[in-house]
């Protein structure tokens, strides 16, 4: 902030400013907490009466403002001011809206009104409120934020090993944060090939339906017992695919970045084996061609429990993060590392 005399700057004031936006994925209300502290005054500047406002554009309203401390800052002032502003989404017949937060800085310096108040905003902080997520009520999230789904690799090492192998051995790195390539959630988007199925179901059909058989070679015990179930039980084998069927990047998506020509037979073919010491390891299928590691996908034969339960929490993840069609997200294997073929 600068003070002028006869259009000549002769005094300045600077402030430390910190702002936090608190969103609630289960509420249409959210808040901003701002702290402001005088950093220094110089020249003729000795008093600033600060007019700070946290505002929003779009379908929103301010429900309350609480300014803790004086709006007047004097030279040598060391006290921190805290401003808490509450907002509410006020939709107009829509089930989804974008709200743009912005901040206003004005007031007076040495009693002279600031000639050009400042307004600031950042697109990265735009907020999306909606009532579209099934069984999740109404809530708000940052529209540009990419959440992370954490797979329990200790409980589901077979499923984690499959993803880990694809990330390390092929160019299929979707979901890996270090690659900069997030997965994209399909939701209930219809298939682009006119099949009348959702794209997710169509992906699953092409990758894990066409030309797939469970592996039953020597040493494969995944259909006899499943480690993470905690008990001896018969567990059928199932097909695990990566990239996931519910992602735009699935090789079953003809509009995706790496589609198969016909079926999941074009993927890297593996199976998960339960070892004598109750560990699980991932192996290449000896009844399939050796991979070139340029394949567009991975397809693995493993315990149905291992396969399905590794992604079961994803439904709650969708609700908590208010994940919607075409939203990006990351995948975290929870520190998993394992040797691969």
pLDDT at 56: 96
Cα 37–39–45 angle (5° rounding)?
A: 110
2-142 sits in which CATH class? mainly beta
Percent pLDDT > 70 in the chain is 94
Q: By percentage, how much of the chain surpasses pLDDT 90? A: 77
pLDDT, average across residues 297-303: 94
pTM of the model: 0.89
Between β-strands 183-184 and 328-332, what pairing exists: parallel, antiparallel or unpaired? antiparallel
The dihedral of CA 153, 154, 159, 161: what is its sign?
positive
One DSSP character per residue, 142-190 reads ETT---EEEP-TTT-HHHHHHHHHHHHHSS--TT-GGGT--EEB-TTPB
**Looking at residue 256, what DSSP letter applies?**
S
What integer is the mean pLDDT of 115-123? Answer: 89
Residue 230 has pLDDT above 70, yes or no: no
Domain ranges for the chain? 2-142, 148-332
Whether the predicted pLDDT of 254 surpasses 90: yes
**Whether the Cβ atoms of residue 103 and residue 19 lie closer than 8 Å to each other:** yes
> Which tokens hold the place of 43?
């020249």
Q: Which residue has the higher pLDDT, 94 or 267?
A: 267
């Amino acid at each position: 902030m600068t003070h002028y005399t006869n259009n000549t700057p002769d005094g300045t004031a600077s402030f430390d400013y910190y702002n936090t936006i608190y969103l609630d994925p289960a509420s249409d209300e959210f808040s901003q907490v701002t702290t402001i502290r005088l950093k220094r005054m110089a020249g003729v500047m000795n008093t600033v009466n600060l007019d700070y406002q946290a505002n929003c554009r779009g379908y929103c309203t301010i429900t309350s403002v609480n300014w803790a401390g004086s709006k007047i800052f004097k030279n040598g002032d060391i006290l921190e001011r805290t401003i808490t502003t509450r907002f509410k989404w006020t939709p107009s017949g829509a089930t989804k809206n974008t709200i743009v937060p912005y901040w206003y800085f004005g007031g007076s310096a040495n009693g002279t009104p600031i000639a050009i108040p400042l307004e600031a905003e950042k697109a990265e902080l735009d907020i999306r409120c909606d009532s579209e997520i099934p069984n999740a009520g109404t809530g708000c999230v940052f529209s540009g934020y990419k959440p992370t789904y954490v797979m329990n690799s200790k409980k589901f090492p077979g499923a984690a090993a499959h993803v880990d192998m694809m990330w390390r051995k092929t160019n299929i790195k979707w979901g890996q944060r270090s690659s900069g390539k997030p997965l994209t959630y399909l939701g209930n988007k219809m298939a682009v090939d006119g099949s009348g199925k959702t794209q997710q179901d169509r992906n699953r059909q092409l990758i894990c339906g066409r030309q797939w058989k469970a592996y039953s070679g020597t040493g494969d015990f995944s259909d006899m017992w499943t480690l993470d179930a905690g008990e001896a039980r018969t567990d059928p084998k199932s097909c695990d695919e990566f990239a996931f069927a519910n992602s735009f990047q699935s090789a079953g998506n003809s509009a995706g970045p790496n589609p198969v020509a016909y079926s999941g037979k074009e993927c890297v073919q593996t199976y998960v084996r339960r070892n004598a010491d109750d560990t699980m390891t991932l192996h290449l299928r000896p009844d399939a061609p050796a991979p070139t590691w340029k394949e567009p996908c991975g397809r693995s034969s493993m315990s149905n429990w291992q396969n399905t339960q590794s992604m079961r929490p994803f439904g709650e993840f969708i609700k908590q993060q208010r994940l919607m069609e075409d939203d990006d997200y990351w995948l975290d294997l929870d520190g998993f590392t394992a040797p691969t073929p």
